[in-house]
Structure 1
């Protein structure tokens, strides 16, 4: 059976399929982990430790000696993405209450959901699209995108926008596994190769654990809103990313389109941040469901839009010229 091949045909499938299976289990049999206990409970409820190991391995995979072109490309996209999320957070906070919107069409929407969906790029999706439609240097921009992984940037945005307060040691705790992995990976290339192999392996495991924090009834309640959030991520972050790629990164905008997705790992941010700051607990469940839906939407739409954009810039519309009459 070609289970892996079939799963990988789905955009972000290795993350999203286990996540949906976990959500199905949590919806139909929420006490499964407690019933079996031991290692089964650990796999079901182990979101934070599994993610901690994944962040460590992500850090170990980054090579400090990346070329200047790659750093310029990735730095441009990463800074733009984070800056847009920060501006959106400031604007959203002016009309969305701290406990999120409770009624109406936008019920369940919170600043936490918006920031979590917008501040991280699906690096794997970006790299695969740039391998097909961009240059080697643009594909290598995935290097710094790994810095967005995890709750750190979301915490920084919420904190700097005055929407939350975090103790300094919480910031350190959020980034420490990544930094230790980064240090070890650059001190010993064999360790980098060793730990890097674990990065894709851990994705379905934390996807399944994350799914077990989601009740599918919440996704059904926020489905249309989640689809709208996914479309908003593409439009609101995509336009500045295209402009930054063209005028700062020296590209043609294709990399900007490819970076306008929401990362699968962002689904974990609401739960992790709620554990760090209990003030976000009331909106964590709905935010998780919204971000999960946005991830699916962007994973489907961004490849299509990137392909269309790449075709457009490769074959610009011809200018119409008045044909001269043939000479006799």
Structure 2
């Protein structure tokens, strides 16, 4: 009997991350000895998140198309810059005001990881209805923000976290290898695309296996608040993005999302700076909650802005209908 478990997980928003994460949290809460058996089981499902992150970054690198030029490259660079600036402002405002602990139960680590990420899959899906080929092509540059690299860079440069240069380089090397290999070998790129869901499932489980159910419940309300904040930034991103475009688009609002994969970022950042480990469990649960909320709000926001843009556009003038037919020349009189 086939149950198509993968297909059912895929139908749940962010299911490939959230479901393994919750299963691992429950298992670690009520039967932690199962994951502490040792050998390959523990290495893969308990302490394997670092290795899985390395593979995940390599896969992300294969999606970067270095041959992409022109408008897609420009749009992707603008989108990436806006996300980096948002993360820098988050560190400057929240980090300097409240410190690493953040505010209302949301740590600065969670806040920065939220604002430097966005749901790439949702962005691509929205491009099919509200964008064109150049918008879709922008993801080849924009996808650099997938994973913890941008979050670590922003925190490290700000001084709020002690991120060694070697840690940043360790995140960049798999990304560069994947980018080079993926651009030289199309078959390898296809292999990475097909295997990405498996890596995400295992990595999510390994991170959840180091948390408990108490953390998830305690982070519920703060996770909802983080999701609302992320969704509201979509309004700001809409206006900022269009400042750089001649032809206006509603897709800037799609930046007001939190990637489901951002739930994996706090654990990776804390490996570079162990002082942040105390915030990892809560931040993971908050980011997972925020990703679900923004999956629901972003399409509504993009559709609303798209409707407003189209309403402002002048209606095309039917020149043919306005032109009056010229009178036919009369035939010459016969003599």
TM-score range, shorter chain: 0.7 to 0.9
CA distance in 1, matches of 2:157, 2:16: 33
- 1:317–1:194 Cα change, 3 Å: closer
CA distance in 2, matches of 1:97, 1:44: 33
Aligned match for 1:267, one of 263, 266, 275 = 263
- 1:18–1:312 Cα change, 3 Å: farther
Q: 2:94–2:102: 8 Å Cα contact kept in structure 1?
A: no
Aligned residue number for residue 20 of structure 1? 22
| Unpaired stretches in structure 1, ≥5 consecutive residues | 319-328
Q: 1:76–1:249: 8 Å Cα contact kept in structure 2?
A: no
Q: 2:101–2:108: 8 Å Cα contact kept in structure 1?
A: no
Once the two structures are superposed, the pairs formed by residues 84-163 of structure 1 within 5 Å of their partners are 84-100=86-102, 106-107=104-105, 109-163=106-160
Once the two structures are superposed, the pairs formed by residues 178-193 of structure 1 within 5 Å of their partners are 178-193=175-190
Paired residue secondary structure (1:94): helix
What's the offset of the Cα at 1:248? Answer: 0.7
Aligned residue number for residue 322 of structure 2? none
Q: 2:65–2:141: 8 Å Cα contact kept in structure 1?
A: no
What's the offset of the Cα at 1:221? Answer: 1.0
Q: 2:124–2:136: 8 Å Cα contact kept in structure 1?
A: yes
Between 1:214-223 and 1:50-59, the stretch displaced more is 214-223
Aligned residue number for residue 39 of structure 1? 40
CA distance in 1, matches of 2:279, 2:186: 42
Q: Give the TM-score normalised by structure 2.
A: 0.85
CA distance in 2, matches of 1:26, 1:316: 55
Q: 2:16–2:201: 8 Å Cα contact kept in structure 1?
A: yes
Q: 1:99–1:110: 8 Å Cα contact kept in structure 2?
A: yes
Q: Give the TM-score normalised by structure 1.
A: 0.87
What's the offset of the Cα at 1:2? Answer: 4.7
Once the two structures are superposed, the pairs formed by residues 6-85 of structure 1 within 5 Å of their partners are 6-35=8-37, 37-45=38-46, 46-85=48-87
Q: 1:214–1:289: 8 Å Cα contact kept in structure 2?
A: no
| Unpaired stretches in structure 2, ≥5 consecutive residues | 315-335
CA distance in 2, matches of 1:184, 1:317: 44
Once the two structures are superposed, residues 160-215 of structure 1 have per-residue CA deviations (whole angstroms, 9 ceiling, x without a partner) of 22212322211111111111111112233333233333223422222222322332
Once the two structures are superposed, residues 17-57 of structure 1 have per-residue CA deviations (whole angstroms, 9 ceiling, x without a partner) of 2222222222332332113x333323322111112111111
The CA RMSD measured in Å over matched residues stands at: 2.3
Aligned residue number for residue 323 of structure 1? none
What's the offset of the Cα at 1:240? Answer: 3.3
What's the offset of the Cα at 1:99? Answer: 4.3
| Mapped pair 1:311 → 2:312 | no
Tell me the number of residue pairs that the alignment of Structure 1 and Structure 2 aligns.
312
What's the offset of the Cα at 1:306? Answer: 2.3
